[in-house]
Amino acid sequence: MIEFIIFAITYLLIAFQKVNLRLDRASIALIGATAMIASGVLSLREAVTSVDYDTIILLFGMMVVSSYLGRSGFFDFVASRIILKAKNGRRLLLIIVLTSGILSAFLVNDVVCIFMTPIVVRMALISELNPIPLLLALSTSANIGSCATIVGNPQNMLIAMKFGIPFLEFVRVLAPISAVSLLICYIILYSLFKSEISKFKPKTFDFKLDRSLMVRMLIVLSVTIFLFVTEIYPIPVSALIGATLAFIFGGQRPKDILRNIDWSLLIFFAGLFVVIAGFEKGGWTSYLGDLNVKTLKDYIIFSGIATILSNVISNVPFVMVTLPVLKTRKLAFVLAMASTFAGNLTLIGSVANIIVAEMADSLGVRISFLDYLKIGVPLTAVTVLLGTVMIFNSI
C-alpha cells in the first residue's frame, strides 16, 4: 500500500505543481523516488537499475546538439529568414508553423521552444504584431511536429525504446499524421486570428551568427540523423555520438554548453522511472487491465482517455504508467500520437506550452489559459481523432 500512496502523492503534486510548496517537477519526482527507496519498496540497486538509461542518453545527446545550434545563432538566423520570406501575415504564420513543426521533429520540442520563444516575440514586436497568435503557432506546431519521429519528444523515446520500433518505421507511421495535423493547425490558427495576423509589417533585425559553428553543427545533426535512420548503432548510442562530435567540433567550452542542458528534465525522468518501478513492484499496474482493444471505436475511446489523462497527470507520466500493459505496436503508435497531440489541449498540457508561456511572460507577453483553449480544444479534438483513424487503417 505504501508504494501506491507514494505514487499517488507524487503524481498529484506533479499535476498540481502550481499550488504546491514551490516544488518543480524534477524535485517532486526525486522526492518520490527517494521515498520509494527510504520506505523499503525498492532497494538502492533496484532503483538504479529501474532507470531507462537509453531514454536519458538519447534526450541528453539531442540537448547537447541543440544547445550548440542555439549558441551559433541558428535560431535567430531561422527567424530572420522567416521575416524575409514572409510577404504577408498569412505566409508568416504558415512559415512559423512549418519551421517549428519540422525543427521539433529532429530537435526535442522543448528545446526548440526554449530557443524560439524570445525570437518569435522579438519578431512579432518588430513587425508590429500581437505576439500571442505567433506564440500559439509555435507551441502547438512544436507539439504536433514532435510526434513525427522518435527524437521529437520524450514520450516517443520511451515508446520506441520499449517496443524496439526502428526510426524509419516510426516516421512512416506518424510523419504523415503530423504533416496533415500541421496543416489543420495552420487553418484553425488563421481562421481564429486572421485580423491580428493581417497587420504584419515585415522588418529586419540584427543578430550575431557564427556561420562556421552553425554549419559544423548542422553537419553533426545530419550525421546523427543518418545514424538513426541506418541503425548502424542503437539509437541512444547514435545520440551520444552526435553529442560527442558536437563537443569535438563545437569550438566552445563544453562546460558552457552543459550549463544550457535541461538537467531538471533529466532528473524528472530518472525520478519517475524509480517511482513507476515501485508502483509496478506492488502489482498495481495489473489493475489497469489488459488493453485488448480491437475495433476503431475501441481505439477512439483509448485515444480520448489518453488525451484527458495526459493533461491530468501530464503526458510523460501517463505514458510511463500505460506502457507496461500495452500489447501491440498499433496501440503503441496510438499512444505516441494521442499523448503528444494531447499537449495541445490546454496551456499546461505539455512542457513545451509551459516553456513558451513562462518565457513569453518574462518578456512582457501574457498568454492566458482561455487564449490557449480557443485553439487547443478544436485542434486537439480534430487531430487526435484523425490520427487514430489513420493509424487504425495503416497498420
How many other C-beta atoms can be found within 10 angstroms of the C-beta atom of residue 50?
19
Share of residues in the chain with pLDDT > 70 (%): 94
pLDDT given at position 173 = 96
Share of residues in the chain with pLDDT > 90 (%): 34
Asked whether residue 246 carries a pLDDT value surpassing 90, the answer given is yes
Angstrom distances, CA of residue 68 to CA of 103, 119, 260, 349: 15, 17, 9, 28
Angstrom distances, CA of residue 252 to CA of 216, 221, 249: 12, 17, 8
pLDDT range class, residue 313, cuts 50, 70, 90: low
Asked whether residue 20 carries a pLDDT value surpassing 80, the answer given is no
Contact at 8 Å (CB) between 30 and 269? Answer: no
Distance CA 98, CA 373 (A): 21
pLDDT given at position 116 = 83
Averaged confidence pLDDT in the chain: 85
Q: Tell me the mean pLDDT in the region 309-323.
A: 78
Residue 103, SS3 per DSSP: helix
Q: Tell me the mean pLDDT in the region 63-78.
A: 84
Q: What is the pTM of this model?
A: 0.75
pLDDT tens profile 110-137: 778 877 887 888 788 878 889 999 999 9
Q: What are phi and psi of 314, to 5 degrees?
A: 85, 145
pLDDT range class, residue 367, cuts 50, 70, 90: confident
pLDDT given at position 292 = 66
Distance CA 385, CA 2 (A): 38
- Cα angle 29, 31, 34 (rounded to 5 degrees) comes to 110
- Cα angle 68, 70, 75 (rounded to 5 degrees) comes to 140
Contact at 8 Å (CB) between 182 and 145? Answer: yes
pLDDT given at position 140 = 96
pLDDT given at position 65 = 86
pLDDT given at position 15 = 64
Using a 10 angstrom Cβ sphere, with 0-12 exposed, 13-18 middle and 19 or more buried, the burial of residue 154 is: buried
Q: What are phi and psi of 206, to 5 degrees?
A: -90, 145
Asked whether residue 202 carries a pLDDT value surpassing 80, the answer given is no
- Between these two residues, 20 and 96, which has the higher pLDDT value? 96
pLDDT range class, residue 361, cuts 50, 70, 90: confident
pLDDT given at position 352 = 83
pLDDT range class, residue 264, cuts 50, 70, 90: confident
- DSSP class of 283: T
Please name the residues in contact with 56: beta carbons below 8 A apart, sequence gap of 6 or more: 266, 269, 270
DSSP 173-241: HHHHHHHHHHHHHHHHHHHHHHHHHTT-----------HHHHHHHHHHHHHHHHHHHHTSS-HHHHHHH
Asked whether residue 183 carries a pLDDT value surpassing 90, the answer given is yes
- Between these two residues, 246 and 7, which has the higher pLDDT value? 246
Distance CA 361, CA 250 (A): 32
How many other C-beta atoms can be found within 10 angstroms of the C-beta atom of residue 365?
20
pLDDT given at position 110 = 78
Lowest mean pLDDT among 156-165, 185-194, 205-214, 375-384: 205-214
Distance CA 335, CA 332 (A): 5
Lowest mean pLDDT among 30-39, 97-106, 183-192, 321-330: 321-330
Q: Tell me the mean pLDDT in the region 220-225.
A: 89
